Amino acid sequence: MNKITNHMPTAELQALDAAHHMHPFTANAELAKKGARVITRASGVTLTDSEGEEILDAMAGLWCVNIGYGRDELAEAAARQMRELPYYNTFFMSTHVPAIALADKLAELAPGDLNHVFFASGGSEANDTNIRLVRRYWELMGQPEKTVIISRKNAYHGTTMGGASLGGMQGMHAQGGMPIPDIVHINQPHWYLEGGDMDPEEFGLARARELEQKIDELGEGRVAAFIAEPIQGAGGVIVPPDSYWPEITRICAERDILLIVDEVITGFGRTGKWFGTQTYDLKPDIMTVAKGLSSGYAPIGGSIVSDKVAEVIGREEFAHGYTYSGHPVAAAVALENLRILEEEKIVDHVRDVAAPYLAEKWHQLADHPFVGETKIVGMMASLALTADKSVRKPFEAPAGTVGYMVRERCFANNLIMRHVGDRMVVSPPLVMTKADIDVLYERAVKSLDEGYARVKDAGLMKTAD
Ligand code: PLP
């Protein structure tokens, strides 16, 4: 019998973890030396570890626990569904009530004519579905040579071969022969580090027009779709200049290509509206969702597809599907999560209370000598660490060295804040109160002060030439 429990000494749990558990996105040998922090329970916006420390989770797990931890209603929805129908598939002319109800609810919530849902277990799988969907769409439209998908450098669209190829993370591409064929990347609208002497709006337009240039270079007859996150999340919460999305929207409307908007992070209230698509007035043909769909309580994602695309795809069998597409327990949990988001008016809370207060506090951090810029939309925010506030330049030390040191201080101060290179990011549960945000702010300031002192002591306060 398995005797491993929350009550075991931390060191024993860490040793067992190091012996048998391969962690994602981790140098496992280094982790084995340090020992992973063992999280044992969570409630609201707070995690508890095996030493009894209480940690403020300003990342909502991996950008996903939108309604906060410890909601019994979701546990009950899962238990109810497991007793009634723990599993059935939706292949071969079958269906079940949780999948019907969740697809119906998503069609109601999603803007425009996004009325059809193809389910997956998470965002990577959903983006793999999208590659299949857009290529199949053009085949059925009699244009099978339209296979290329244009994405952006430093985008994140998941970790499967398809998802990581759509993404623009060089470190991922370098490990395993990616991108797969017919996926190309244009530059990102990251003004702070890449804007040079341009003003942000001019730069936003220039970066958007790279889409048009890439379509011209490849030939419109080759391009199937453009995919993008409304705000790049894992890339460092890169908020595009205001000029960026209207220009992309114009180009997509004028050119015969599909637009896939990846809302895996920005969906379900994160930006202060239900979807980032509404925040930026986008007209996607396909929207990717996951994470906040179930607030992370069960693994589920999906592609929400427009009437136009669904009609074409539906003409013949679409040779694609996952064992867990529309899993009844995950679907029941997601439905309960959406009920809570709606009935407790959590999106209104973000718009009216949490996001404005977080923005007020977050922008105060810009006064810190270590901070070059602060950015925030809704409940996702970032700041650039800098050695010299007067220039927009990276540190001389390899990217991420300084960010990692600050992240360590956050961890030590019981604040989960993440670093992406030398940018610090937060994406807290949407239910944060003003009092929670005050704690976040105090711990962030303490961690920045301590990180600043250590970086100075280590002689790392130097800007790259
Ligand atoms: N797309 C975006 C924008 C994401 O941020 C992520 C995960 O962080 C994914 C896709 C992949 O989702 P998953 O990890 O559920 O496969």
Give the pLDDT of residue 2: 66
Give the pLDDT of residue 417: 98
Are 103 and 248 part of one and the same domain? yes
Give the pLDDT of residue 3: 87
Are 306 and 399 part of one and the same domain? no
ipTM of the complex: 0.99
Give the pLDDT of residue 368: 97
Residues in the chain, pLDDT under 70:
1-2
Tell whether 7 is covered by a domain: no
pLDDT in tens, 318-366: 999 999 999 999 999 999 999 999 999 999 999 999 999 999 999 999 9
Mean pLDDT across the chain, nearest whole number?
97
Residue 179: asked if its preceding bond is cis (omega within 30°), the reply is yes
Tell whether 142 is covered by a domain: yes
Cα 81 from Cα 62, distance rounded (Å): 26
Q: Where do the H-state alpha helices sit in 170-265?
A: 170-173, 191-194, 200-218, 244-254
Mutate to test the pocket of ligand 1, among 152, 264, 293 (most ligand atoms within 8 A of CB): 264
Are 309 and 244 part of one and the same domain? yes
Tokens of 301: 């994602």
Element (H, E) at 25: none
How many CA atoms lie less than 13 Å away from 156 in the CB half-sphere?
Answer: 18
Tell whether 91 is covered by a domain: yes
- From atom 13 of ligand 1, which residue's Cα is the shortest distance away? 123
User: 286: which strand partners?
Assistant: 260, 305
Contact assessment for residue 148 and residue 180, using Cβ atoms and an 8 Å cutoff? no
Q: Is the CB of 262 under 6 A from ligand 1?
A: yes
Tell whether 120 is covered by a domain: yes
- Residue at which a domain ends, from 295, 323, 343: 343
- Residue at which a domain ends, from 279, 309, 343: 343
Are 278 and 149 part of one and the same domain? yes
Are 61 and 80 part of one and the same domain? no
Mutate to test the pocket of ligand 1, among 157, 275, 293 (most ligand atoms within 8 A of CB): 157
Are 274 and 310 part of one and the same domain? yes
Give the pLDDT of residue 465: 81
Atom of ligand 1 nearest to the CA of 262: 3
Q: Is the CB of 158 under 6 A from ligand 1?
A: yes
Are 396 and 284 part of one and the same domain? no
Give the pLDDT of residue 23: 98
Return the CATH number at 434. 3.90.1150.10
Domain total in the chain? 2
Are 182 and 239 part of one and the same domain? yes
Return the CATH number at 306. 3.40.640.10
Q: Is the CB of 124 under 6 A from ligand 1?
A: yes
What does the DSSP assignment read for 233-248?
Answer: STTT-BPPPTTHHHHH
Give the pLDDT of residue 176: 86
Are 48 and 170 part of one and the same domain? no
Tell whether 292 is covered by a domain: yes
Q: Smallest Cα–Cα separation from 66: which of 238, 332, 235, 265?
A: 265
Backbone angles phi, psi at 425, to 5 degrees: -130, 150
The Cα-based distances of 44 to 69, 338, 350, 379, 433 in angstroms read: 5, 17, 15, 16, 10
Q: Smallest Cα–Cα separation from 297: which of 39, 60, 124, 50?
A: 60
Give the pLDDT of residue 345: 98
pLDDT in tens, 214-245: 999 999 999 999 999 999 999 999 999 999 99
Q: Is the CB of 233 under 6 A from ligand 1?
A: yes
Are 197 and 260 part of one and the same domain? yes
Domain of 180? 72-343
Q: Smallest Cα–Cα separation from 137: which of 256, 8, 57?
A: 256
Tell whether 313 is covered by a domain: yes
Are 433 and 415 part of one and the same domain? yes
Q: Is the CB of 156 under 6 A from ligand 1?
A: yes
What separation in Å is there between the alpha carbon of 300 and the centre of ligand 1? 11
